[in-house]
Chain A
């Protein structure tokens, strides 16, 4: 078992003929993901790598292949439309990798996707992977191994760092989800924690947050009141100055709100394990699975 993606995932890739889209489509195929279609307007009828049919529109691709998941690698100014196109075509899970989507675009995309009953992950995220079954996005497959720990994070490479250290220590993962570093994203920590709580394979959860917003504080409250499984948390940005955007659009301390200290305090108040550095996840999770 796992969350959001598994062997039944039928993936379509929006932007499959672009530089990033084609590179990662190949990587996902190599990992064994069931990539059933690609979409690039004007390139319908082509075959990608000799085996994946390319369509002009998402609606055409869904109709012909029954794709139930889409991953988006299109430039930032086209990403909002791509997400809404996927939702309108009935795709149930939409994963947007694109970084740099204007936040005001997301204020239209979020309610649109919701009203169409789809789940959006991202934007500005590395996607997700269920080790040994399916990879949707850009998380390197070789650092992951199947196992009992659910991983959810706002970051990309920091997630790789933690997963790599877990794998080296012999602790495998059920599913790793990168929810993205933007101020408005489709799926938050609580959505992932609830899914991990319901997933029989997952025995414990590793959660990597960062400065900015209150998503981690709300997640801590969810852990305290709704979860039986143990959760270990980490917050990046303990040394970040206020008022500066630390790379991710969402990683900013506004006024006195969104600091690492207040998030860590929320974790502690919820009885969660607190990793002071990435390496601490190994011992804290060993004791919990």
Chain B
């Protein structure tokens, strides 16, 4: 789960990281009022879960409250990478002497949170890593001990020769690490970490991505989820305990298991079609999940054919068959459906489907080819 910049900054501020003052506005009036209250030049920043906000025109410098009003007017409602801007952060514009990058990610190879720090901040760190890797320092943290003071100081001195700045940076990195662990992050970054003309450090932008597996034990973090910034179908799917990702094709896919779901999408493409979605109904099936899955798939007007691919292990294929029958009785399908199922209780499932006018295949390749042909308007 992604946090908005303003949410990440609130968590970092609460733990002691120096963050420029600011507030959230949903109207131009509010933006102007916040700028007036701050009494400084401000930045108006779109709050959406998309990178490249600045390039898209979603981040603007505003010398006066009147300009803040005008820019907020332009940014609110703006479309950035398919997402509508509902909120802007109005925050004091910082005077910048230099910019650094400080981030933590869970590194798969090192099996630990790893700090990445670089004096070349303010830009895309992936680009720095690709072009000038010597400008990045990596430091892995053993979470059983936490970030050790000497590690934080090593990174502080890597960024700044000045001991006062190095110490300040070390303190901020310790706070960032604490926030990272506290919130259950998979990524947290401050970019840029700015040195002001008066030699103080401030975090001008903050980003946090939460490990979804943490949300059950961190209700205060889970409450930060902003459903208005997500595709409605994905919100619907999550509430129904399904994993769903919308894509641009026209073959609606319903599969059990993430690996098989990806392989099914790939096979649709292999046979010349385009998948409309990734959808994993998970391991332990019940008919209700299938009903929800069909509702979500058919809500996409692009879908021209539906493909079920179920390999019954824990999942009972008769549960899936019952779900298909129930769902299509509630709301009859307007597009053709191809059902492939094999494994646990396959004979019962096939009988249920046949009694209700559906046919079923036990062969994955055959089913995918038929679904692709149907989506293109061909015969079954």
Contact of B126 among A153, A234, A256 (CB under 8 A): A256
Q: Is A288 an interface residue (CB 8 A)?
A: no
Are B111 and A156 interface neighbours, CB within 8 A? no
Say if the beta carbon of A155 comes within 8 Å of chain B.
Answer: yes
Is B260 in contact with A279, judged by CB distance below 8 angstroms? no
A42 close to chain B: CB less than 8 A: no
The segment from A43-51, A159-167, A196-204 that touches chain B is: A159-167
The answer to whether B245 and A246 touch across the interface, beta carbons within 8 angstroms, is yes
**B260 neighbours in A (Cβ, 8 Å):** 155-158, 160-161, 236
What secondary structure prevails in chain B residues at the interface with A? mixed
B313 contacts A181, CB within 8 Å? no
B37 sits at the interface (CB 8 A): no
| A234 cross-chain contacts in B, Cβ below 8 A | 263
> What is the interface of chain A mostly: helix, strand, loop, or mixed?
loop
Tell yes or no: B353 within 8 A of A by CB.
no
**Residues of A129-170 contacting chain B, CB below 8 A:** 138-140, 143, 153-161, 164
Whether A229 is near chain B, meaning CB under 8 Å from some CB there, is no
* Alpha-carbon separation in the docked complex, A155 to B364 (Å): 17
Contact of A278 among B144, B186, B263, B280 (CB under 8 A): B263
* B113 close to A107 (CB less than 8 A): yes
Q: Does A102 contact B (CB under 8 A)?
A: yes
B184, B243, B343, B365: the one within 8 Å of A247 (CB): B243
Given contacts A238-B266, A277-B270, contact A157 B313 (CB under 8 A): yes
Choose, from B68-76, B209-217, B293-301, B320-328, the stretch at the interface.
B209-217
Question: What's the minimum C-beta distance from B359 to chain A, rounded to whole angstroms?
Answer: 21
B244-283 CB mask vs A (1 if < 8 Å, else 0) is 0101000000011111111101111110000100101001
Interface residue total, chain A, C-beta cutoff 8 A:
62
- Contact among B144, B213, B263, B283 for A236, CB-based, below 8 A: B263
B112: CB under 8 A from chain A? yes
Closest residue of B by beta carbon distance from A23: B314
Bound together, the chains give a CA A181 to CA B257 distance in angstroms of 11
Given known A-B contacts A237-B262, A278-B263, A104 and B214 have beta carbons under 8 A apart: yes
Given known contacts A102-B214, A140-B343, A158 and B113 CB-to-CB distance under 8 angstroms: no
Q: Is the CB of A249 within 8 A of B217?
A: no
CB <8 Å contact, A164 and B108: no
- The reply to whether A103 and B259 form a contact with Cβ atoms under 8 Å apart is no
Q: Which residues on the B side are within 8 Å of A153 (C-beta)?
A: 259
The reply on B143 being an interface residue by CB < 8 A is yes
Choice from A106, A164, A238 contacting B269 with Cβ under 8 Å: A238
Ranked 9 nearest A-B pairs via Cβ: A155-B259, A247-B258, A157-B257, A158-B259, A236-B262, A157-B260, A237-B262, A247-B280, A158-B260
**Residues of A participating in the B interface, judged by any CB pair closer than 8 Å:** 20, 76-77, 99-104, 106-108, 110-112, 126, 138-140, 143, 153-161, 164, 181, 183-184, 208, 210-215, 234, 236-241, 244-251, 255-256, 260, 276-279
